Each structure stands twice: as C-alpha cells, then as structure tokens.
A and B are shown apart, each in its own frame.
Chain A
Amino acid sequence: MHVDLTTVWAGIIVFAIVMYVVMDGFDLGIGILFTKFRVGADRDTAMNAIAPVWDGNETWLVLGGGGLMAAFPLAYAIILPAVYAPITAMLLGLVFRGVAFEFRWRDANHRARWDAGFCVGSIVATFAQGVTLGALLQGIKIGARAYAGGYWDWLTPFSVLTGASLVTGYGLLGSCWLIWKTSGAVNAEARRLAKALTPGMLAAIGAVSIYTPFLSDKYYETWFTWPGICALGVMPVAVAAIGLLLYRRILKGRDFLPFALALSLFGLSLLGLGISMWPDIIPGRLSIWSAAAPPSSQIFMLVGACILIPLILGYTTWAYWVFRGKVAAEGYH
C-alpha cells in the first residue's frame, strides 16, 4: 500500500468520523438516556455535563459532511441520495435536540416537553446514523456518476440492526461519561444504566460482526482469507476481554475507566469496519481513488488541515480542561 494524497484524505475523513463518534457519541447517549434520570436536579446535572462541549462535538459531523464533499465529491453525491430518508431524519433529530438543549432552561412550564424532545431527537439522530452506516455497508446501487437505487433501498434488517446497535453503543458511552463527570444520584443511576447496556453493546457488536461477512463475497474473502483471518482471530477475543473488564469495573474502580473502556470497544468496532471497507468508499462499487477530488483541491485543503487540525485539537483540549472535574446541577463554578 503506497501513501498518496487520496489515502491521506481518506485518513483525515476517518479521523473526523472517529472524533465525531468519540465526542458526539457520549452527548447523544446522554440524550438517549435522558428520561431515565429524575426530573429536576438530576436532569440538570446530566445536561450540564455536556452543555459547554456539545456544539464543538457536533462540528466534527459538519467536518465529516463538508470534508467528504470536498475530498470525495463523487462519493458524497452518491451516498447522500442513497440514504436520503435516514439523513433527513438525522438532521431533524439533531435540530430537535440542539434547540431542546437551550429551550428547556428558558421555559419551565414546558420543560418536560423539551426533555422528551431532547431524548427523542437524540434517539432518532443516532438510529439514523446507524442505519446510514448499515446502508453503506450492505451496498449501494450506482449508475453513471449517480445513485441508481430506489429511496427505500436503505431499509433492510441489517440496517435496522446497525441502527439499534448504535443507539445501544451511544447510550453506553453516555452513561460512562456521566460516571466520570458526575457524583451522587446521577452517578449511581449512570452506573446502573451502564451495567445494563454493556451486555447489549457486546451482543450488538457480535451480531453486526457475524452478519457483515455474509453481506458480500468481498467481506467474506477479506475476513476468511489471509491476512484478514488474523484479525478475525484477535478481534473477538479483544472485544470480549474489554467488555468483561468494563462490566466488572462499572460498580467499582476509577471513574474515568468505564468511559475509556467503552471507547476502546468503539475503537475496535471502527477498526473492524475499516478492515471490511478498505480501500472502497462505497463498498464493492467505488474506491477512494475513483471518488477523489483532483490533486489541486486535495493539496489546497491539506495545507489548511495540517495547520488547523492541531490548533483545533489544542483549543478543544483547553476547553475540556477548563471544564474538568465533576459537575453539579448548578453547572460549572
């Protein structure tokens, strides 16, 4: 494998997606679990645990979309019409939860309604992201530089499975974030939720992993021939080990550990996804090289990315550092 501009850009897009999943995953997860927390101080605490950072987290999603259009315009132009309905649902879900965030503080009389909106919006957005991933993995019909399928093609048992899996996974991330960032009743409830969600997450990873190789011959060959078969041997063991450790350390052990372990589960899942898809951007149909923007566009953006991404990571870290430590219902003081 030789490294060229296109592989670098594929790496940057993957990095944006990973950052998005890592960062927005937990705040969508808190939304998914939101109505499990008691009305009043508990919910305010859960909300305050993400209030200063959610906007930055969601910006990675904009970078994923904008970056895909810029670096792989053809892929952007084919994938988005193929997942028209789930993308629309995701955007509307994000609109709902984003405004509910602000509005619940402004309108005590309708707070229950905005809390419900925050929860439903988070679930819809997450499920739609999972469905989109499933739809991409199971294959997209393409014609001459355009999507050639129907507008229900995305809906299959597999995409519903990936949607449900992501809801479970983000829920786990959210509960682990709250274990880290809160204390008292919210912390106890978060531990209970994390304990319940961990087996679900492991089952979801298992189900998607078993299903995927049978979606296409290409996946089957990747995983059941050399060198993929090595990964096939290692991955399930790693997932099981981390999952077990997570399950045992939820009730005791350091507060940040469950979040770190839950993130590693996501890391392994994304790695598996990468092994399945490489080097295609639309599996089986379109490689990253056929979808790539011309080098002049790639170089122009690469200059910016090399300067700006480290800066972004720098001040994002600073913002998280400013709001380090446990939060309470009054917010950060």
Chain B
Amino acid sequence: MTGITALHLARAQFAFTISFHFIFPAFSIGLASYLAVLEVLWLKTGKNVYDNLYRYWVKIFAIVFAMGVVSGIVMSYQFGTNWAVFSDKAGPIVGPLMAYEVLSAFFLEAGFLGVMLFGINKVGPKLHFLATCMVAAGTLLSATWILAANSWMQTPAGWMTNEVGQFVPQGSWLAIIFNPSFPYRFVHTVIAAYLTTSLVVGAVGAWHLLRDRANPGARTMFSMAMWMAAIVAPIQILAGDTQGLNTQEFQPAKVMAMEGHFDSYASGAPLVLLGIPDEENRRMTYSVEIPKLSSLILAHDLNAPLAGLDTIPRRDWPPVAIIFWSFRVMVALGFAILGLGLLSLLARIRGKLYEWTLLHRIAVMMGPAGFIAVIAGWVTTEVGRQPFTVYHALRTADSVSPIAGPAVTGSLLAFVVVYLGTFVSGALYLVKLMAKPPSLHEPLPEALPIRTAGITPASFIDAGGGE
C-alpha cells in the first residue's frame, strides 16, 4: 500500500470543493437577508443612507452569488462522478431532497436575481423589493433542503433497504426531512451565516470608520452589524450547545472525539481544554483539563458518568485529532464573536461606538472569523460522521465510484488550479469593492464601466420618488 488511495483522493476532492463552495452561501444567505432589511428600511424611512448601502452591498452580493452558483453546480455532479455507489444507494432519499432544493430554491433565486441586480428602473421599488425578498427566501429554502439531506446522512430516519440494496423511504417523507438532527443543524447553520455576514459588514464599516468616522454609510453598517453580533452570538452559543446534546444522543462517537475522551468516566468527566490526541495509544497527551466540567455540559450534572471512545469499536472511530481541533477553533471563534458583541454594547453605553478605534481595529480583524468558524464547524460535523457517509448504514469506503487513482488525481489537480485561480481573483475583487468607502451616490451594479466613464447615474431615488 502506498498509503494514498483513490478513496483518499475522492474524499480530498469533495472536502476541497465543498469547503470552497460553502464559503459563498455562508455569506450570501446572510447578505440576501441584510439587503432585504436595508431595502425595507429605505422604503419605510426614505433615508438615502439605506438606499446607498443597498447598492454598495448588492454589487458584492452579485459576485458572491455567482461564485456560489458555479461552485454549487460542481457539487450537484460530484455525487455521481466520485460517489457513484452512494448515489445509487442513497439517491432515492437524498436525490428528491436535492431536487426540491433546485425546484423551490435555486429557481426562485435565479428567477428574481436578474430583477434584483438590474431591474430597479424597470419594475419600480415595490416589485424590486419583492424580488430581493424572493432571493433572500430562496437562500433560506436552499439551506432547508440541503441541510435536510445532510442531516439525514448524519441521523438517518424513515428508511429501509430494498431488494437491490438501495435506501428507500419507509412511510412518511416528514420523518426523513425532519430527521433527529435537522432542526438543530438548520438553526445553527443559518445563524452562523447571519453572524458571518455581520462580521464582514462590521469589518468593512469599521475599516471605513477608521479612515472617516463621519461617513454615514460606514456608521450605519457598523452599528447594524454590531447589534447583530451582540444579540445573535449568545443565541448561537446556545444553539450550538443544544446541537451538541443532540449529537451526543445520536452520534456519541463524534462528541467523544470532539471532547478528546478516549476513556469512559464512571463519575464526572473532565473538560479537556487543550491537548494532543494520540489515537494510536488511545490517550490525550499534554492535556489541560477542568475536572467534571464535561459532565456538567453534556449531562447537566457534575458527577454524571460519561462514556468514551473505549466503548466504540476502533473501526467505527472518526479521525479524533481533526475533530478535536476543528471543534476548538469553532468554539474559540464563537466566544471571540460574543466578546466583540459585548465590547460594542459597552461602546454604545459609553456613547463611543463610532469613536473607539480599538473596537474598530478588533472588528476589522474579526472580519474573516465567521468563515473560519463555519468551515471549522462543518469539518467537525462531516469528519465526525466518518467512517460513514450514511451514519451506521453505509461506509465511506463502500460509497466511492469505481474510478482509478490517476483519474481522480487529475481532476483534483484541475479543481485546485481552477478554483485557486478564479476564486482567489474573486476574493481580491471583493476586497477591492469593500475597500472603497460607501459613497452618497453608489452606482448600480450593471452600470459600472459606463458610470465610471462619466455618464449620468441612473436614478434609483427618482424611480422611488416617482411613485
């Protein structure tokens, strides 16, 4: 054995393409809702600042959305190219959920996106607002269906095996959609997307406040983002905790790996803060622990007994070290976001929200934190499902396509090269757009080359005032 097999390569390809992909929906789910909020505020108050912020962020949204779409098309075919056996077996259940995602969400987004981006002067503000709301609703519907599919793979319910070995529905589809982990995962993921977006918006606002604290656009977006962080971060920590308890019930091995518990504890398991998991010798090394705290968190009782990985057959273990660390990254960032939110409340109380440069610097640094936390969270839950694709029903090793190593290597390399080339350029363009301060007369997205050439700006305001 050379060590690296076609299976490893297929997994690497999936991990690479899905991680890249998810960065964009994590941002566009939050941004679409934020745009809807900005537009409704503009329609209600008539304040120019909301309208300008809408135009400022909608240009960024267009790029993020496009990158999300094209990287998403890849996903819808990769189940077949690299995971053919999984597709054959799980297709009758996972397939319809994804088909519903396309029919109800993707078309809704796509159908109204054109009007949202280019149609303000064609349809008037009310219909345009409807288009924004439809796009935002589409992003949430899409999250619903794809998370139902993912959650079913984590905690399969309502299924049986047919005579050719496929997983098929048994009884109601509601049992499949509302499988045990779906509600928790949905809440946790959508809030994560909102927080991720608010951190980016907050960082951009802070960046421009550091240069010009009188910029009205920068002030408004910073304030809105900091409210979001302050209110939603604690909710997210709570949501994460309940998802953890749900995971403990249905996928105990995942939680054991997250906690670094190789051994069972008869009474009062310690919380391992840090350490290096040694899977071979089945123990934590150099660990820093707080006695009994893990029992308190997971069982709400200091002296509760807690089972460890020693109760799970070795062949069913997920890779402990990856999950142990990715989980810690996510949690640490979650608390850092909470800290930022609390700091902003303090600044508000002192009346220094727009003047406190230290807060602004911290907010700028925290700009990418949401993305890192989201990816770390997904690594935890997906790697934690291993060694299965459908938990305790289909092993990852038995899910892969009959494609030889060289072909998978070739496609993996091609994906890496093209993704790095295109999406890194995209990220640079986004940063460039964000580095420009929001002005009083933000141009519309379609018109960039023309407007900068100095032709009269299209009048978003006039279109609204003309009613």
Contacts and interface: CB of A to CB of B under 8 A. Distances in A.
Interface of A: 44, 48, 51-53, 55-56, 58-59, 61-63, 65-71, 73-74, 76-81, 84-85, 87-89, 91-92, 94-96, 98-99, 101-103, 105-108, 145-148, 151, 293-294, 296-297, 300-301, 304-305, 308-309, 312, 315-316, 318-319, 322-323, 329-333
Given A81-B401, A108-B449, A330-B450, 14 more contacts: A51-B114, A56-B113, A62-B76, A67-B102, A69-B87, A71-B99, A76-B79, A98-B66, A99-B67, A99-B70, A146-B88, A300-B96, A301-B96, A322-B122
B107 A308 contact: yes
For the complex, would chain A's binding face be called helix, strand, loop or mixed by DSSP majority? Answer: helix
12 contacts: A77-B91, A77-B401, A80-B77, A102-B67, A147-B84, A294-B162, A294-B168, A297-B168, A300-B173, A315-B112, A316-B107, A323-B119
Looking at B66, B447, B455, which has the most chain A CB atoms within 10 Å of its CB? B66
Given A69-B87, A92-B418, A296-B168, A305 B95 contact: no
B407 interface: yes
B134 to A, nearest CB: 8
Given A77-B85, A80-B81, A92-B415, A56 B99 contact: no
Contacts of B422: 95-96, 99
B115 interface: yes
B264 interface: no
Given A76-B80, A84-B81, A315-B112, A301 B446 contact: no
B98 A94 contact: no
B18 interface: no
Interface in B65-110: 65-67, 69-74, 76-77, 79-81, 84-85, 87-96, 98-104, 106-110
Contacts of A73: 87-92, 95, 166
Contact of A67 (B99, B164, B432): B99
A84 to B, nearest CB: 5
A66 B102 contact: yes
Contacts of B113: 52, 55-56
Contacts of A148: 402
A144 B466 CA distance: 67
B285 interface: no
A96 B80 CA distance: 21
A293 B73 contact: no
Contacts of B95: 66, 69-71, 73, 76, 293, 297
B96 A56 contact: no
Given A66-B98, A81-B403, A87-B81, A52 B119 contact: yes
For the complex, would chain B's binding face be called helix, strand, loop or mixed by DSSP majority? Answer: helix
A27 to B, nearest CB: 12
B425 A76 contact: no
A97 to B, nearest CB: 8
5 smallest beta-carbon distances between A and B, as pairs = A73-B91, A80-B80, A52-B114, A70-B95, A98-B70
A294 B169 contact: yes
A200 to B, nearest CB: 28
Contacts of B165: 145
Contacts of A53: 114
Given A66-B76, A67-B102, A304-B100, A84 B88 contact: no
A296 B173 CA distance: 9
B65 to A, nearest CB: 8
Nearest to A61: B73
A148 B401 CA distance: 11
A301 B100 contact: yes
B449 A105 contact: yes
Nearest to B66: A102
Contacts of B118: 51-52, 323, 331-332
B123 A70 contact: no
Interface string B405-436: 00100110011001100110110010011000
A77 B84 contact: yes
A62 B67 contact: no
B119 A332 contact: yes
Given A87-B81, A146-B402, A94 B73 contact: yes
B410 to A, nearest CB: 8
B460 to A, nearest CB: 12
B169 A297 contact: yes
